[in-house]
Amino acid sequence: MTSDATPTSTSTVHVDSVERAAATPDREQPYAALGLTDGEYAEIRALLGRRPTSGELAMYSVMWSEHCSYKSSKKYLRRFGDKVTPKMREHLMVGMGQNAGVVDIGRGWAVTFKVESHNHPSYIEPFQGAATGVGGIVRDIIAMGARPVAVMDQLRFGDLADPDTLRVVHGVVAGIAHYGNCLGLPNIGGETVFDKVYQGNPLVNALAVGVLRHEDLRLANATGAGNKVVLFGARTGGDGIGGASILASDTFSAGGPTKRPAVQVGDPFAEKVLIECCLELFHGDLVEAIQDLGAAGISCATSELAANGDGGMRVDLDAVLLRDPTLTAEEILMSESQERMMAIVTPEQLEGFLAVTAKWDVETSVLGEVTGTGRLEITWHGETIVDVDPSTVAVDGPVYDRPVARPSWIDALQADSASALPRPTEGGELREALLALLASPSLASPAWITDQYDRYVLGNTALSFPDDGGMIRVDEESGLGVAIATDANGRYSLLDPRAGAQLALSEAYRNVAVTGASPLAVTDCLNFGAPTNPEVMWQFAEAVDGLADACLALEVPVTGGNVSLYNQTGSTAIHPTPVVGVLGTIDDVAKRIPSGWQDDGLNLYLLGTTALELDGSAWAGVVHDHLGGRPPAVRLEAERDLAGLLAAGNDEGLIAAAHDLGEGGLAQTLAEAVLRFGLGARVWLGDIEERDGVDTATALFSESTARVLVAVPREEDVKFVGLCAGRRVPALRIGVTDVESGTLEVQDRFEIPIEELRAAHEGTLPARLGARVGG
* Residues with catalytic roles: 67, 118
Q: Which region, judged by CB under 8 A, interacts with other proteins, from 259-267, 572-580, 717-725, 739-747? A: 259-267
> Which C-beta is closer to other proteins: that of 341 or that of 760?
341
Give the residue with the Cβ less far from other proteins, 191 or 239.
Answer: 239
Distance set, CA 512 to CA 102, 106, 133 (Å): 18, 18, 24
Interstrand relation of 572-573 and 568-569 (parallel, antiparallel or unpaired): antiparallel
Nearer to other proteins, 242 or 664 (CB): 242
Q: What is the rounded CA–CA span in Å between residue 417 and residue 527?
A: 25
Nearest distance from C-beta of residue 775 to other proteins, angstroms: 28
Q: DSSP assignment, residue 96? A: B
Q: Which of 29, 98, 119, 337 binds other proteins (CB under 8 A)?
A: 337
Distance from C-alpha of 699 to C-alpha of 95, rounded to nearest angstrom: 41
Which CB atom, from 93 or from 263, has the smaller least distance to other proteins? 263
For other proteins, the binding residue among 30, 55, 145, 237 (CB under 8 A) is 237
Stretch that binds other proteins, among 140-148, 263-271, 509-517, 671-679 (CB under 8 A): 263-271
Shortest Å, Cβ 171 to other proteins: 9
CB of 714 closer than 8 Å to CB of 605: no
Query: Cα angle at 410 between 409 and 412, to 5 degrees?
Result: 75
Among 165, 328, 338, 461, the residue binding other proteins under the rule CB under 8 A is 338
Evaluate whether 55 touches 18 at the Cβ level (below 8 Å): no
Q: Where are the alpha helices (DSSP H) in 594-635?
A: 618-624
Q: In whole angstroms, what is the distance from residue 678 CA to residue 739 CA?
A: 9
Q: Least Å distance between CB 127 and other proteins?
A: 8
Q: Does residue 1 interact with other proteins by CB under 8 A?
A: yes
Give yes or no for residue 267 binding other proteins (CB under 8 A): yes
DSSP-assigned letters across all residues of 295-362: TBHHHHHHHHHHHHSSSEEEEEGGGS-BSSTT--HHHHHH---SSEEEEEE-HHHHHHHHHHHHHTT-
Tell which positions 346-365 bind other proteins, by CB under 8 A: 361
The binder of other proteins chosen from 128, 357, 502, 702 (CB under 8 A): 128
Q: Give the closest residue to 679 by CA, choosing from 765, 741, 591.
A: 741
Which pairing describes strands 147-157 and 187-194: parallel, antiparallel, or unpaired?
parallel
Pick from 160, 746, 677: which is nearest to 449 by CA?
160
Q: For residue 244, give the nearest of 514, 433, 6, 55 by alpha carbon.
A: 55
Q: Which stretch binds other proteins (CB under 8 A): 120-128, 406-414, 567-575, 690-698?
A: 120-128
Compute how many other C-beta atoms are within 10 angstroms of the C-beta atom of residue 511: 29
Size of the site for other proteins (CB under 8 A): 24
Q: Name the one range near other proteins by CB under 8 A: 56-64, 254-262, 282-290, 648-656.
A: 254-262
Q: State the nearest-atom distance from the C-beta of 33 to other proteins, in Å.
A: 19
466, exposed or middle or buried, with CB in 10 Å at 0-12, 13-18, 19+?
A: middle
According to CB under 8 A, which residues from 300 to 329 bind other proteins?
Answer: 323-324
- Minimum Å gap between C-beta 152 and other proteins is 24
x/- map, 563-582, other proteins, by CB under 8 A = --------------------
Minimal distance, residue 327 CB to other proteins, in Å: 9
| Residue 261 binds to other proteins (criterion: CB under 8 A) | yes
| 3 state SS of 5 | coil
- Decide: 697 and 620 in contact? Cβ < 8 Å: no
* Residue of 238, 397, 576, 578 that binds other proteins (CB under 8 A): 238
Q: Which amino acid is at 368?
A: G
Of the pair 299, 337, the CB lying nearest other proteins is at 337
Question: Is it true that the peptide bond before 121 is cis, omega within 30 degrees of 0?
Answer: no
Q: Rounded to the nearest whole angstrom, what is the least distance from the CB of residue 319 to other proteins in the complex?
A: 19
Which of the stretches 237-245, 282-290, 631-639, 759-767 binds other proteins when contact is defined by CB under 8 A? 237-245
Q: Report helix, strand and coil shares of the chain as percent, to nearest 5.
A: 40, 20, 40
Nearer to other proteins, 322 or 512 (CB): 322
Distance CA 703, CA 632 (A): 7
Q: In the bound complex, what is the minimum distance in angstroms from residue 99's beta carbon to other proteins?
A: 23
**Which residues have CB under 8 Å from 389's CB, separation 6+?**
47, 374, 375, 376
- Please identify which residue in 84, 96, 265, 421 interacts with other proteins, judged by CB under 8 A: 265
Which of the stretches 70-78, 231-239, 537-545, 614-622 binds other proteins when contact is defined by CB under 8 A? 231-239
CB of 266 to other proteins, least distance (A): 7
Closest CA to 484 of 459, 465, 456, 500: 465
Cα-based distances in Å from 495 to 576, 624, 628, 706: 10, 17, 7, 20
Stretch that binds other proteins, among 183-191, 264-272, 379-387, 767-775 (CB under 8 A): 264-272
Report the residue number, 172 or 754, with the smaller CB distance to other proteins.
Answer: 172
**Shortest Cβ 237–other proteins spacing (Å):** 6
Residue 574 Cβ vs other proteins, minimum distance, rounded to whole Å: 22
In terms of CB distance, is 67 or 260 closer to other proteins?
A: 260
Residue with smaller CB distance to other proteins, 87 or 259? 259
Give the whole-angstrom CA distance, residue 246 versus residue 324.
Answer: 18
456 touches other proteins (CB under 8 A): no
What DSSP assignment string belongs to 210-245?
A: EEEEGGG-------STTPEEEEEESPB-STT-GGGH
Q: Which is nearer to other proteins, 125 or 660 (CB)?
A: 125
Give 632-664 as a 3 state SS string: CCCCHHHHHHHHHHHHHHHHCCCCCEEEECCCC
Cβ-based nearer residue to other proteins, 182 or 313: 182
Task: Compose the 414-443 pattern: x for residues touching other proteins by CB under 8 A, - for all others.
Answer: ------------------------------
Q: What is the smallest separation between the CB atom of 504 and other proteins, expressed in angstroms? A: 32
Under 8 Å between Cβ of 765 and 445 = yes
The stretch among 49-57, 63-71, 258-266, 735-743 that binds other proteins (CB under 8 A) is: 258-266
Residues of this chain that interact with other proteins (CB under 8 A) are 1-2, 124-125, 128, 234, 237-239, 259-261, 263-267, 269-270, 323-324, 337-338, 361
